[in-house]
Amino acid sequence: MSLGDERETSGGYGGTGQTRTRLPESSGDVYGGARRGGRSSSRSLVTVVGVVVLLIAAIAFANRGGDDSGSPSGDENQPKSSTTAASGTRPVDGKAAGIPGGFARDEQGAQSAAANYAVTLGSTGMFNKESRHGIVDAIYTPTAAAKLQGAMDQAYTADFLSKLGLDADGNAPEGSTFVSRTVPVGTTVDQFSQSGAKVSVWYVGLIGMSGTGSTDPVSPTWKTWTFDLQWVNGDWKITADTQKDGPAPVPGDDRAASSDEISKAIEEYGGFTYAR
């Protein structure tokens, strides 16, 4: 839901910018064999939402201010327990169009909002015009949403979707499962005030097509998604966002699942509502 220290100027998590996609080339279950290198199509997809968003709302973020001098005595190389331990009270109770809302007006609420918005913007709902419009209206400020809708519609053309193996409504072919999912690993507050916040979400994205004949199997990619949030009408809303690559852990030696296993897992395991 691209990016070392580079900022991507947008086209949408669903947008395009400079994306490369791959049309189906051959039949057969690519999940059973060795995994391709490169996977430019999947990597482009993971940043699609950020791409469109950045075209419209890219801004120069101020360098993180403040001096953390005056840290408590002790081994400064040791992380504080608060930076590694799970915290938070409970997920929010409110929902609008299936999207969590009603976040607290504090740092925890801003982090929870950013994590949930990353999940929403990284979902397959972004590839359908009607659901995408609902998502954008629900989680962006009115001003940002008004600018984004047209740009995203231009990015999610029928031609673009077809190159991903989807029809004009964002549906996968019969027998295949299109996977687009963002899984937050952690959040951090870069800036905070009662009226605005800047929150970064470290996440792993799952992207690709699962099914017989797929040439773009589902694979993970690691990103950091930074959101500028504004307190509007009793909730946190997005004004702008950027993404960058990593930090990515060393790949493990896990056996790659078959396309059937991936499809079944996607159908059986739902997403979460995140609280800090």
CA distance linking residue 106 with residue 148, whole number of Å: 27
**196-210 vs 219-232, strand pairing mode:** antiparallel
CA distance linking residue 250 with residue 138, whole number of Å: 36
pLDDT score at 163: 81
pLDDT score at 186: 94
pLDDT score at 211: 79
CA distance linking residue 117 with residue 227, whole number of Å: 9
228-254 tens-digit pLDDT: 999 999 999 999 999 999 999 998 888
CA distance linking residue 249 with residue 221, whole number of Å: 10
- Domain definitions of the chain by residue range: 39-59+89-268
pLDDT score at 31: 40
Q: Which fold has domain 39-59+89-268?
A: Nuclear Transport Factor 2; Chain: A, (3.10.450)
pLDDT score at 80: 52
pLDDT score at 66: 40
Inter-helix orientation angle 129-139/107-121, to 10°: 170
pTM for the whole thing? Answer: 0.69
pLDDT score at 90: 63
pLDDT score at 25: 37
Distances (CA, A) of 239 to 116, 129, 136, 152: 15, 21, 11, 15
pLDDT score at 192: 98
Residue spans of the chain under pLDDT 50: 1-76, 79, 81-84
